[in-house]
């Protein structure tokens, strides 16, 4: 009897299930954690970061569900248990995916809903908020990517060396070493995700990084909560201040001594901050 009830919390008020659906020919995996009784405006859709999955948000998802929210976390195409797209995608493709995903699970999500994006998922959340802002009750961006850094002297030097490297490895006798050299180059730049990705996702990374969302931030009309790790090295806190400056109706909360992944480092604290925002907007 105890094993049968293990999917429910002790107070039997919420449960989790994992589902698979087909979107434009791609099998997509997602998790839903929800209270047995929920009401309009209590849905939270979480978009994970690059290299993350629905599993990485499990602890935050469970805490939010215990407090009466239906929380939905898909594995982006190319991540977790979801299939990889047949061709490289850009930000717009992922936004279209989110839109189709919402349509497909219409019975499990209501509008308006809360949208949370972390890192790469923050890019998609920003673009979705710009193009489909009327559907969002509140926007939460956690250590969000999307602002293209201006190249300093070091960056310009590195990319000059990269162009030289392309020329060096052009002769056929050296061409077989080109991929290995490129991987070492990206490791040096701390883009380890590029090295780990297959060919389609490597091209996806390049397409995604090409787009600068800075000019679009002032177009966000939704009430926005910005959450940033104080010592985030992947998307430094300085970008959090830029998001705060550009998004008119926004608030920035800084997590002391926390890095790029608060949902893994301090899930309980992160969930508390999110709940304060959700409860304020729901009531």
| 1 has pLDDT over 80 | no
| pTM strictly above 0.85 | no
State how far the Cα of 68 lies from the Cα of 35, in Å rounded to an integer. Answer: 5
Q: Count of CB atoms within 10 A of residue 193's CB?
A: 16
Of the pLDDT bands very low, low, confident and very high (cuts 50, 70, 90), residue 174 is: very low
Q: Count of CB atoms within 10 A of residue 22's CB?
A: 10
pLDDT at 216: 97
pLDDT at 111: 80
- Name residue, tokens 């290299």: 51
Compute CA distances 15 → 9, 36, 48, 116, 146, whole Å: 7, 7, 21, 21, 34
Q: Which fold has domain 14-148+212-282?
A: Rossmann fold (3.40.50)
Burial-class residue 174 by CB neighbours within 10 Å (0-12, 13-18, 19+). Answer: exposed
| 281 has pLDDT over 90 | no
- Name residue, tokens 């020919």: 25
Determine what percent of the chain is predicted with pLDDT higher than 70.
75
Residue 58 and residue 65 in contact, taking contact as beta carbons nearer than 8 Å = no
Q: What's the pLDDT tens digit per position in 97-140?
A: 999 999 999 888 878 899 999 999 999 999 999 999 999 999 99
pLDDT at 206: 87
Pick the closest to residue 95 from 200, 248, 216, 264 (CA basis).
Answer: 216
pLDDT (mean) for 55-61: 97
What are the beta bridge partners of residue 46? Answer: 116
State how far the Cα of 79 lies from the Cα of 30, in Å rounded to an integer. Answer: 11
For 47, the token pair is: 């978009």
pLDDT (mean) for 258-262: 97
Report the Cα 23 to chain-centroid distance in Å. Answer: 19
Pick the closest to residue 228 from 249, 189, 257, 191 (CA basis).
Answer: 257
pLDDT at 5: 31
Average pLDDT, the chain: 83
* Angle in degrees, CA 83, 85, 87, rounded to 5: 155
Return the beta strands (E) in the chain as ranges: 14-23, 26-35, 43-47, 70-74, 113-118, 136-142, 224-229, 250-255
Q: What's the pLDDT tens digit per position in 62-92?
A: 999 999 999 999 999 999 999 999 999 999 9
State how far the Cα of 34 lies from the Cα of 223, in Å rounded to an integer. Answer: 24
* Domain locations in the chain as residue ranges: 14-148+212-282, 153-204
pLDDT (mean) for 190-211: 73
Residue 201 and residue 84 in contact, taking contact as beta carbons nearer than 8 Å = yes
pLDDT (mean) for 165-187: 45
Order of strands across the sheet that contains 224-229:
14-23, 26-35, 70-74, 43-47, 113-118, 136-142, 224-229, 250-255
| 18 has pLDDT over 90 | yes
pLDDT (mean) for 225-239: 97
- For residue 8, give the DSSP letter: B
């Amino acid at each position: 009897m105890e094993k049968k009830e293990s999917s429910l919390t002790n107070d039997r008020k919420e449960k989790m299930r994992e589902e698979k659906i087909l979107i434009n020919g791609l099998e997509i995996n997602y998790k839903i954690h929800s209270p047995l009784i929920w009401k309009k405006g209590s849905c939270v859709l979480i978009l994970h970061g690059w290299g993350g999955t629905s599993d990485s948000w499990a602890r935050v998802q469970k805490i939010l569900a215990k407090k009466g929210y239906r929380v939905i976390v898909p594995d982006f195409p190319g991540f977790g248990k979801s299939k990889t797209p047949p061709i490289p995608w850009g930000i717009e493709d992922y936004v279209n995916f989110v839109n189709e995903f919402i349509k497909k699970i219409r019975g499990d999500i209501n509008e308006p809903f809360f949208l949370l994006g972390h890192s790469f998922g923050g890019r998609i959340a920003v673009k979705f908020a710009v193009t489909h802002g009327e559907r969002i009750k509140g926007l939460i961006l956690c250590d969000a990517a999307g602002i293209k850094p201006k190249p300093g002297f070091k960056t310009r030097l590195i990319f000059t060396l990269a162009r030289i490297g392309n020329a060096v490895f052009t002769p056929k006798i050296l061409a077989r070493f080109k991929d290995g050299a490129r991987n070492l180059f990206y490791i040096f730049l701390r883009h380890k995700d590029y090295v780990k990705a297959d060919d389609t996702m490597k091209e996806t990374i390049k397409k995604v990084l090409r787009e600068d969302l800075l000019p679009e931030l002032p177009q966000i009309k939704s009430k926005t909560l910005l959450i940033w790790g104080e010592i985030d090295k992947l998307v430094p806190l300085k970008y959090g201040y830029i998001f705060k400056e550009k998004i008119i109706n926004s608030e920035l909360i800084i997590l002391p001594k926390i890095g790029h992944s608060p949902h893994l480092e301090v899930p309980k604290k992160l969930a508390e901050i999110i709940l304060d925002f959700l409860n304020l907007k729901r009531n």
